[in-house]
Structure 1
Amino acid sequence: MKQILFFSALWCALAFTSCGGGASEQTTDEAAGTQSVQADSLSASADSVEVDGVSGATQVANAPSFNGILMVPPQRHATITLSMGGAVHSVSFLPGSYVQKNQVILTLENPDFIALQQTWLDAAAQVEFLEKEYLRQKNLASHEAASQKQMQQSKSDYLSMKSRLDAAAAQLQILGMDTRHLQTQGIHPYLEIKAPLSGYVTNMNVNLGKYFNVGEPVCDVIDKQALMLQLTAYEKDLDDLKVGDRMEFRVNGMGTKVFEAVLVSIDQMVDSTNRSIKVYARVLNPLQDFRPGMYVSARKVSSKS
C-alpha cells in the first residue's frame, strides 16, 4: 500500500514539472514573436517614409532659390544722348536728384543751334509770301491773265521753301524745341536738354565747359516706381516657372525682411556657357531705399502656402 502511494506522488510531481516547463517555453516563444513583428513593422515604416534631400524633414523638396539684381525696366530707363553737340553752359541738377518730365537738366552752347533757328524763321517768312504769290498767279492763270509758266514757277518756289521750313522744324523738334515759341520769344541762345521722363538723374559726368559730341550720352534718368527683379534660373528650373507665379525675395543689406514680386517674363535665350536663363519679376510695393543693381535672393512661393 505504501509503495502505491509513493509511486502516485512521484508521478504527479513529474507531471507538474512537465506542465510548468511547457508553459514557460510557450511564453518565451510568444514574446520573441511579438518582438519580431514589431521589428518588421518599424522596418516597413522606415522604408515607407521619403526623407527630403534638402530639409531632411518633409517629403516635398524645398523650392529652388534664384539670385539676381534689382533693375529698372527699359521703358522707365532713359539715356539722354545729344542730337547736336555743344559745350555745357549750365547744370541744373546733381546726380541722384529727382527731376520732373521736361525739366531742363543742362544747357549747351552751339552756334549751329542759333543758325538752325534763323533758318526756320527765314523760311517761315518766305513761305508766307510765296504762298500768297502762288495763289495770286494761280488765280490769274485761271482767267488767262498770266501764263501757266509763271504760275508753275510760283508754285515751285512756294513748295521748295515750305519743304525747307518743314525740315528746319523737324530738326528743332528733335532737339526738343517748340517752333511756336520762336516767333513770339525770338531766338534761344542755348540748347536745353530736358528730362524725357520723371525720375532720378544718374550716370552723370558733366561739368561746365565740357564738350559733348553728337550721340554722346550725357546722363540717365530712371523711374524707380516700376522696379523689377532680374533673376538667374537654369534649365532644370524652367518646368516649374510660369508667368504669374508669386515670388518672395530678400535684398542684400536689408536683413531678413521679405518682399514680394510677380513673375512677368522668361527670356527665350539660354546662356551657352553656364546653361542659365534670365527671368524677370515685377516688384510689388517697392521701397524708396531700393536701388537698381542691388543683389537679391528669391524663391517661388508654393501655391499651397
Structure 2
Amino acid sequence: MKKMIFPVVAVLLASCNPSDKQTTQQTAETQTETATTETAPSADSLQVDGITGATNVANASTFNGTLVIPPQHFAAITLPMGGIVKNLSLLPGTYVQKGKVLATLENPEFITLQQEYLDSRAQLEYLEAEYHRQQTLSQEEAASQKKLQQSKADYLSMKSRMQAAVAQLQLLGIQPEKLVGHGISPSLEIKAPISGYVSNLQANLGKFLDAGEPLCEIIDKSRMMVRLVAYEKDLENLEVGCPLLFHINGLGNTTFHGKLIAIGQEVDDTNRSIELYAEVTENNPLFRPGMYVSARMGKK
C-alpha cells in the first residue's frame, strides 16, 4: 500500500505548483506597476524648458540673485583735471562724509587758470568803467562813436573771458569769489560728492592721474537693493509691490524682507532671463554688494 500512496502525493504536488507560481508572479507584477506609478512624475507636474533647461515645478516661486547698490547711491570719483597726487587720506573700506577732502593734486595748469580769472576780473573792472565813461562822453558829443564801440567790444570780450574762467573753476569745485580774499591755491582738492565707504582705490602718493581717470569709488549702503533673475514662465506670477523674503549666503538662516519695485522689460537673448529689482526693508551693516541672495515671493 505504501508504494501506491507516494506516487499519488507527488502527482497532487505537481498539479498545484504551476498555479501557485503564476499567482505569485502576478502579485509581484502588480506591486511593481503600483510603485512605478507612485514614484514617476506626471507630465503635468514637471516640465523642462527646452531652451534654458530650467525645470518648471508647479507653484515654484524662488529666485536667485545678488545685493546691489542703486545708481543714486554709488559714485565714481573721476578727476576733472590731471595732476600729481600730493596728499591722500584714503583706505579701502573707510567711511567718508560728503565734502571730505579725499586727495589733493598739483598741476601748473590749475595755477594758471586761477591767475587768468583774477587777471580778467581786474581788467573787467577797468574796461567796464571805461565803457561807461565813453557812453557819457558820447551823450555829450565829446567822443566819437568809434571809441564807444571799441570800448564796448573790449568790455564784452573781457566779460566772456572771465565767465569762462569762472565756469572752469566751478567744474573743479572752486568758488572763484574765494580767490579774491585768499589768493591762488597751489593744489586742487578732490572732495567726496556723497557719504559712504571707499572702494576700488586707484591712486597712491606721487602718481600722475590724467583728467577723467578714476581715483576711487564711494558706495552708500543705506539703501541696498536685491537684483534677481527670473524667466519668462515666471512673469504671470510677478507684480510690482509683491512682498519678498530672502536669505543671504553667509548670514545663516536669518530672513530678510523686501518689496519688488521693478521688473525688467527686456529678455536676455542667451538664457531667456529677466532682471527683477527689490528694495530691502531692513538695513544690516553686514550687507555687501555682490552677496549671493536666495529669495521667494511671499510674506511668510
Q: Which residue of 2 aligns with 1:15?
A: none
Structure 1 Cα separation of the partners of residues 108 and 207 of structure 2: 16
Deviations 1:54-91 (A, max 9, x none): 9xxxxx95441111111110011010111111111001
Query: What TM-score do you get using the length of structure 1 for normalisation?
Result: 0.78
Of 88, 93, 96, 1:91 maps to 88
For 2:296, what is the secondary structure of its paired residue?
Answer: strand
Q: Which residue of 2 aligns with 1:112?
A: 109
Of 263, 267, 278, 2:264 maps to 267
Q: Which of the two has higher C-alpha Rg?
A: 1
* Equivalent pair of 2:224/2:283 in contact (CA under 8 Å): yes
* Equivalent pair of 1:63/1:300 in contact (CA under 8 Å): no
* Equivalent pair of 2:74/2:218 in contact (CA under 8 Å): yes
Q: How many residues align structurally?
A: 249
* Equivalent pair of 1:230/1:278 in contact (CA under 8 Å): yes
Q: Does 1:221 align with 2:218?
A: yes
* Equivalent pair of 2:100/2:192 in contact (CA under 8 Å): yes
Of 235, 252, 255, 1:255 maps to 252
Which segments of 5 or more consecutive residues in structure 1 lack a partner in the other structure?
1-49, 55-59
Q: Which residue of 1 aligns with 2:128?
A: 131
| Letter in structure 2 aligned against 1:191 | L
Q: Which residue of 1 aligns with 2:74?
A: 77
Deviation at 1:205, TM superposition (A): 2.1
| Letter in structure 1 aligned against 2:131 | Y
| Letter in structure 2 aligned against 1:275 | R
Structure 1 Cα separation of the partners of residues 216 and 232 of structure 2: 37
* Equivalent pair of 1:109/1:189 in contact (CA under 8 Å): yes
| Letter in structure 2 aligned against 1:81 | T
* Equivalent pair of 2:202/2:214 in contact (CA under 8 Å): no
Q: Which residue of 1 aligns with 2:242?
A: 245
Identity between Structure 1 and Structure 2 (%): 57
For 1:188, what is the secondary structure of its paired residue?
Answer: coil
Which segments of 5 or more consecutive residues in structure 2 lack a partner in the other structure?
1-41, 47-56
* Equivalent pair of 2:68/2:225 in contact (CA under 8 Å): yes
* Equivalent pair of 1:235/1:275 in contact (CA under 8 Å): yes
| Letter in structure 2 aligned against 1:186 | G
Deviation at 1:216, TM superposition (A): 0.9
Q: Does 1:168 align with 2:174?
A: no
Structure 2 Cα separation of the partners of residues 84 and 264 of structure 1: 39
Q: Which residue of 1 aligns with 2:285?
A: 288
Deviations 1:93-124 (A, max 9, x none): 21111111111100111110010000111011
* Equivalent pair of 2:63/2:229 in contact (CA under 8 Å): yes
Q: Does 1:190 align with 2:156?
A: no
Deviation at 1:53, TM superposition (A): 5.1
